[in-house]
Amino acid sequence: MRLFIAIDIGHAEYFSSLQEQIKDSGVRMTFPRVFHVTLKFLGEVDEVRKNKIVDALASIKIQSFRLRTAQIGVFSSFDSIRVVWVGFDPSPVLSKLQADIEAILKPWFPEEKQWVAHITLARVKEILPESKKVYAHKLASFCIQEQIFEVTCFKLIKSVLGSSGPVYEDVASFGLK
């Protein structure tokens, strides 16, 4: 099964409104059931390892915390946009949670190279070069309305790829203090 660890943010109406504002031809919006911040992508995992992962993640003890939206960002760069995302103000508690997950899963999975807390809004597929410059300028000058989200748990999530996109199923949930 294909697994990842994430924080469900919800608030579909807020993120959907951001997507409406950044729409463009050649840009495909993401439409997850629940918007989420991926803490670690695990990939294909068998049942035995999944059970070990659940046990390991259950040992993480972190306090609940808040996330505050900060800005629109892109991967890989504004000259070569592939993904459009909304990021968050730095959160020491979120950074510790992600680092604890990395440390506890290190025996089974390689460490994330450059993790960035974000929610994916869109993927840029086919956009003409001259349009890409205009779109990049639009994104670079885009200001978002600040939102604050309460984080009370993180989850191990199964992702099933289908013709209409991935379908997510919660495998386990881990409450924060």
Q: What is the pLDDT of residues 74-89, one digit of tens each?
A: 998 888 888 999 999 9
Write down the pLDDT at residue 121.
Answer: 94
| C-alpha dihedral (71, 76, 157, 122), degrees to nearest 10 | 60
Q: What was the pLDDT predicted at 89?
A: 95
| DSSP symbols for 63-75 | --EEEEEEEEEEE
The beta strand positions in 14-152, using DSSP E, are 27-29, 36-44, 65-77, 80-88, 118-124, 148-151
Q: What integer pLDDT is reported at residue 1 of this predicted model?
A: 96
Q: What is the pLDDT along the chain (177 residues), one digit of tens a residue?
A: 999 999 999 788 899 999 999 988 788 888 766 799 999 999 999 999 999 999 999 999 999 999 999 999 999 888 888 899 999 999 999 999 999 999 999 999 999 888 999 999 998 887 777 788 888 888 988 889 899 999 999 999 999 988 777 889 999 999 998
DSSP state of 109: S
Token digits of residue 128: 């003409």
CB 171 within 8 A of CB 3: yes
Structure confidence at residue 159 (pLDDT)? 93
Q: Are 145 and 164 in contact (CB under 8 A)?
A: no
**Residue 134: what pLDDT?**
87
Can you give the pLDDT at residue 97?
Answer: 98
Assess contact for 96 and 83: CB atoms under 8 A. no
Residue 56: what pLDDT?
A: 97
pLDDT of residue 131: 81
The pLDDT of residue 100: 97
Q: Which residues contact 38 (CB under 8 A, 6 or more apart)?
A: 4, 5, 6
Residue 60: the pLDDT is 97
- Give the per-residue pLDDT at 86: 95
